[in-house]
Structure 1
């Protein structure tokens, strides 16, 4: 199988309803896909329904089938005429006429199941063929692929693709297609081992897409339909329903299990055994949000969705005293893909009560009666019920949400309430009623409360203390502005920390406290059970060890705000791994405080790139310490004396060689280069340290006693620059061609790098837009106030995303 990063995109019938929809889909493919991607399509509009009408009328020998069939062919003919020109149009007109004749011949003979399936398959084949031609007409190279060439499945009501037989067929086909071309693939159809056409049943096209992604080892699947994704309730019934930007695979599976139509359990099954991520988007409003179905979303416990089915039916099975019979029946129903939406065991009368949608009720009743006949158990079908459910991680264990659910039902004649074994849903079954008022009331009660955002601070030094003061002063304003509750849940320093999910007073933790040592495995386990809607870790340390835990933090669904430079400047492989983990688990990683303290450097680079600009070069003075030193170094005072003064005033690291070595500047340059889109490695930087070899490996105290050994070299550098009327500065530079260098440079007095205030940083950004005249960002690049402010700014940005 090819190792290229394929993506699968699936477009449903509503996304291909008419010619304008096809053109919109073509635009989406141009913008959101790459050559080599696989495009799965359903039959256009109501084509499948019209084919079913034709088959039903023909089976009854009703001559009206001809008029319905003619109308369907005219619809397909008009689509071709509106969308294609020249030879492409003629080719598809000819193919459509051949299909019309073939279907007419089949309709004139007996219609067994395989013939019916063959006729139904034309809907997807027409869509795929037309879309492929349309893409080629718009200079997007494409091939058409009939999924029956690789999908092998047994005949049945809900066939499952045979992976062992299908995967090598697909691999062989993909190997013959150019990677420069997109492949438009039919959904919904397969063949059995004898070559008969098989349809994949309800939601067969969605299932085709995720199964195709699993077989092709695609990294992602996007399902495009007429809705933007999964909402907190059906937006057609609850006006205040909110689009969920992420949902866990377990929650999505539970939602589909209890009958929600947005996703079917069969479509999710391939996700459990493959690496793919699933995204749901609207083809009508592609920019207005989406839902990502992630392998795990470790947010807080509680309800996220209110779901309802207006009409369900019950099947009562009265069994003997042997309790195992009820479990055996449930296992049997799951094996034949007839798992109930919910069930209740009434031990007082030894009755198992099963709940089904109207669609599956008849099949389920027949299956249960057949199974029960072997034991002579009594089976009874009961109609006229409704279902109301809450879905969310651990919702049945969430006291407040469970209480609100029972409270909403207290005045109604509830038949039973059942908690799922997974604890991810609470289901109530009640005699059929009008659910909309109850839905709206429950949704309002559950989701009108402000989101609870937990914060855990790592780093209780100067900057951490400054941030705690800033947070205490601004928390109330932020909570009101963004309709959130911000709860300080943990604070950690070098000696350990304290965690309290009920909340810590930021003013109190400024005072000394008795910390508990950090055992990371225990802390991560406790964090995974946090009670908040979202959890944010704030790393204001200079700990490389702590940065090693970033991937695990991301896997817990925790957001991260970082002033710690180590992860952003680590080896590219680790940096990309951290980024990927946050993407995979729906977390945000904000690190604007890592470079320039409070200066908007990374945000400016991101803004330019998002708008379509290309960064060509970044240069500047990135160290506040070195900026201070060289602003004052004019030869009147030896360099070593200036360094001691800066050290005494706390302007340097405890060991000044951290600043003089240029390693801190190198980390910042790596972060900016990667923000600009270039995966620069530390080994690619030509770094000129100001610390001679003889002073590099000695203790810090000894270094400070021998620091005068720097003076001769520094005096020579200054004298050479002054002879040219210049000054010296410690500068970092990265260019698009890969050249990266850090060291001393000389500048004329009028240069932007020459005239700074002590401790200022300056960044010059050259791009396609800022080419002759670079974008210059200048200001304080160090200090507890500005760095804490940058952390707070990232927290504000995150609150805007989460509210």
Structure 2
């Protein structure tokens, strides 16, 4: 004997009901089955709204009733053979006439009772189950229909009735012994009192109906057929990496369903648990998928955590005061008053000091609860022994669930450290003595980040997901995107890092896709995006609130550099090749570093100095290990090194500068490089990272350009000026050649002072043989006093800069 329940999506239309029919007929070949049908998806909500409109004397309920009627009649006409449609349509219309009478009564009286609401809501299942019955009967005569109200007996608690299992089980056993049909169809959700009045079993009660029938018949299996492949390790709508759970215990399933796993109505499990009947969660649209099996002592696969669930729209109610310490019965009074007002408590925690007790309730109950609790403790509040209760609304409960949690140490620590790293503030904590569940209360806005980060920690084989927001896809940015596309699969399989690009922005356009932008089509998606708006971009990144978010700035924009704080303060990492922020006022630079430390948001800018060379990282490691930097000498401009390595007077200086720009060695405005400002920024950053307080104006810059060149009105004007004064540059080169030397643009820092400028370098100096666009840095420290630590290599170019940015992103992934 198998009991099969089909949910609202499974019976939503003719195609789906035909799938249900095929599944039921196949199952009936192996023995007797009971089939429980939910209302068509969305119908229960429409019935509830119609009853509310009618009781409010709003005529719009009639239009809603017409929509309900049309949907069911259209379904019959599409689903059933023409020769049997007439009788079925007549039955549906008679039922709808009864429904209309009930709604008219609510309209005339201007009120809706719980009793009338149950009667109205029952029509969803009554109509759908009858249509399913007729669909199966059209191909098989061996099918019966039974109204669940004739078997399931409850009390008169309309809206969420309590089942009288003794009478119900007796009725079910009697029906089973009398029925010869291999298939019997039942409406879910509904039952009746001993006097025959219709009651309902609570939203999701069709699952419960199946469990009640299963327990009453001692079924071998209860199957819950829905539109997903079983219970998931987390909500797959929020956690894309969530996967189905192959097997789970009754208690684990109960915990997960209680905390929001909507695939199963929580009360369903108890009758199956009592009767030791396994429950299978199956997909109507993938019937061959094994789904999830719920039972006793099921080991299944995986670690101690079986799932991560969450419950939204939670209010924390806190009652505290010295009047609770050592006073017996305070908790009892609190829970008693909530019970009298029908308020369900879903979360409880109390400090060992007895000074306060904190409970979680639904947001919808918050107002009633506040009034009821304050009235109950009015005398203590007036005497200032207890404070008026405190409400915090709009929260969410996140729960780790697993039967084997009690035998594994450190799970709580991993949970809390994961949330802490992602800047998710925990408002309250609860863990039962059974240790099947660790629950925390957090802000609702953090739920996506919390679920994804916890899922990554406990289920994803140490695969860390990084969500990128890329600003700037010019020469360097385009190379970065190409490198990312090429390495995406390798990073996931070899480095256990899954990188998704969530947003891309330029000065003109921006695009965001929460599930990740296809890197094969990013240019097309960007072109079709919205107009760029820097404030809208900031708000979008914040609202998405994705875990392991990284903003990647591949621009030279002061506007973009000015918004780093908005991200770092929200636990969003920043990776940048833009030197403006780190070379801005020391107070701002230090502020960004403090934000990074305070909110555990990496702020990485390796490419600010030396492009892809590990200069800043090496310097940080020296300082962190206790070494002290005394002096820095460096050639830090790949563009200037390229220019002076290639300029010998045979080709005009302006042409060499133009070629450097074409190859991507200079900034878009080459005056930034040729003025020494770019190099000054770099030595300033190195001085600051060495632990020195210094401003850009403290750095001496020695100008080598013709007078007035830097003040040119535009870049073309600048090139015109330097083209006119070619002899100025020829003279500089000739002077260096006289001494067998070369020109290098050198940055120096020593004794708290820094300078940048063109120097004549002798052949014996390490800088002399620096070719092409290479950079070189010499660190003189306590440990490298006589012989400096030297870092040398390509210090400019789109590819190496992109790879340096890429390396910083990987550092975030490994953080």
Structure 1 length normalisation: TM-score? 0.52
Correspondence for 1:136:
137
Q: Is the 8 A contact 1:14 1:225 kept in 2?
A: yes
Q: Is the 8 A contact 1:330 1:339 kept in 2?
A: no
Report the Cα distance in structure 1 between the residues aligned to 2:259 and 2:318, rounded to whole angstroms. 18
Deviates more, 1:44-53 or 1:83-92: 83-92
Where does 1:397-796 land on structure 2 (aligned, <5 Å)?
Answer: 398-410=408-420, 411-449=423-461
- Cα gap change, 1:97 to 1:315, in 2 (>3 Å): same
Report the Cα distance in structure 1 between the residues aligned to 2:241 and 2:192, rounded to whole angstroms. 44
CA offset at residue 257 of structure 1?
Answer: 3.1
Q: CA RMSD in A?
A: 3.0
Where does 1:165-184 land on structure 2 (aligned, <5 Å)?
Answer: 165-178=167-180, 180-184=181-185
The C-alpha deviation readout for 1:203-252, integer Å capped at 9, x for no partner, is: 21111111121122212110011111111111111121111110011111
Report the Cα distance in structure 1 between the residues aligned to 2:424 and 2:263, rounded to whole angstroms. 28
Correspondence for 1:266:
267
- Cα gap change, 1:128 to 1:288, in 2 (>3 Å): same
Residue 304 of structure 2 is aligned to residue 302 of structure 1:
yes
CA offset at residue 440 of structure 1?
Answer: 1.8
Correspondence for 2:23:
28
Report the Cα distance in structure 2 between the residues aligned to 1:310 and 1:334, rounded to whole angstroms. 21
Report the Cα distance in structure 2 between the residues aligned to 1:363 and 1:209, rounded to whole angstroms. 34
- Cα gap change, 1:28 to 1:390, in 2 (>3 Å): same
Report the Cα distance in structure 2 between the residues aligned to 1:203 and 1:374, rounded to whole angstroms. 41
CA offset at residue 349 of structure 1?
Answer: 6.3
Match of 1:57 among 53, 56, 70: 53
Correspondence for 2:389:
379
Deviates more, 1:166-175 or 1:90-99: 166-175
Secondary structure at the counterpart of residue 57 of structure 1: helix
Q: Is the 8 A contact 1:77 1:96 kept in 2?
A: yes
- Cα gap change, 1:58 to 1:336, in 2 (>3 Å): closer
- Cα gap change, 1:169 to 1:368, in 2 (>3 Å): farther
CA offset at residue 387 of structure 1?
Answer: 2.4
- Cα gap change, 1:116 to 1:406, in 2 (>3 Å): closer
Report the Cα distance in structure 1 between the residues aligned to 2:373 and 2:263, rounded to whole angstroms. 27
Report the Cα distance in structure 2 between the residues aligned to 1:285 and 1:354, rounded to whole angstroms. 41
Q: Is the 8 A contact 1:231 1:244 kept in 2?
A: yes
Report the Cα distance in structure 2 between the residues aligned to 1:167 and 1:422, rounded to whole angstroms. 31
Report the Cα distance in structure 2 between the residues aligned to 1:265 and 1:367, rounded to whole angstroms. 27
Match of 1:92 among 75, 83, 88: 88
CA offset at residue 29 of structure 1?
Answer: 1.0
Report the Cα distance in structure 1 between the residues aligned to 2:341 and 2:210, rounded to whole angstroms. 22
Match of 1:71 among 52, 67, 89: 67
Secondary structure at the counterpart of residue 263 of structure 1: coil
Long gaps (5+) in structure 2: 464-492, 497-815
Correspondence for 2:324:
320
Report the Cα distance in structure 1 between the residues aligned to 2:311 and 2:405, rounded to whole angstroms. 19
Correspondence for 2:361:
356
Correspondence for 1:342:
347
Structure 2 length normalisation: TM-score? 0.51
Residue 399 of structure 2 is aligned to residue 389 of structure 1:
yes
Where does 1:151-170 land on structure 2 (aligned, <5 Å)?
Answer: 151-156=152-157, 157-170=159-172
Report the Cα distance in structure 2 between the residues aligned to 1:279 and 1:330, rounded to whole angstroms. 39
Deviates more, 1:274-283 or 1:332-341: 332-341
CA offset at residue 382 of structure 1?
Answer: 2.1
CA offset at residue 373 of structure 1?
Answer: 6.7
Report the Cα distance in structure 1 between the residues aligned to 2:208 and 2:368, rounded to whole angstroms. 21
Deviates more, 1:287-296 or 1:302-311: 302-311
Aligned length: 448
Correspondence for 1:118:
119
CA offset at residue 297 of structure 1?
Answer: 2.3
Report the Cα distance in structure 1 between the residues aligned to 2:192 and 2:363, rounded to whole angstroms. 29
The C-alpha deviation readout for 1:372-420, integer Å capped at 9, x for no partner, is: 5798764333213232221112426522433321211234432232212
The C-alpha deviation readout for 1:39-58, integer Å capped at 9, x for no partner, is: 01111121112212221221
Correspondence for 2:469:
none
Match of 2:34 among 38, 43, 63: 38
Secondary structure at the counterpart of residue 426 of structure 2: coil
Deviates more, 1:185-194 or 1:307-316: 307-316
- Cα gap change, 1:366 to 1:144, in 2 (>3 Å): farther
Match of 1:12 among 7, 10, 16: 7
Runs of 4+ in 1 over 4 A off after TM superposition: 298-301, 329-339, 359-378
Deviates more, 1:53-62 or 1:100-109: 100-109
Long gaps (5+) in structure 1: 1-5, 452-479, 484-803
- Cα gap change, 1:71 to 1:298, in 2 (>3 Å): closer
Report the Cα distance in structure 1 between the residues aligned to 2:433 and 2:366, rounded to whole angstroms. 22
Q: Is the 8 A contact 2:325 2:354 kept in 1?
A: no
Secondary structure at the counterpart of residue 461 of structure 2: coil
Where does 1:207-356 land on structure 2 (aligned, <5 Å)?
Answer: 207-298=208-299, 302-318=304-320, 320-322=324-326, 324-325=328-329, 328=332, 340-348=345-353, 350-356=355-361
Q: Is the 8 A contact 1:306 1:391 kept in 2?
A: yes
Correspondence for 1:559:
none
Report the Cα distance in structure 1 between the residues aligned to 2:294 and 2:11, rounded to whole angstroms. 24
Greater Rg, structure 1 or structure 2?
A: 2
- Cα gap change, 1:123 to 1:217, in 2 (>3 Å): same
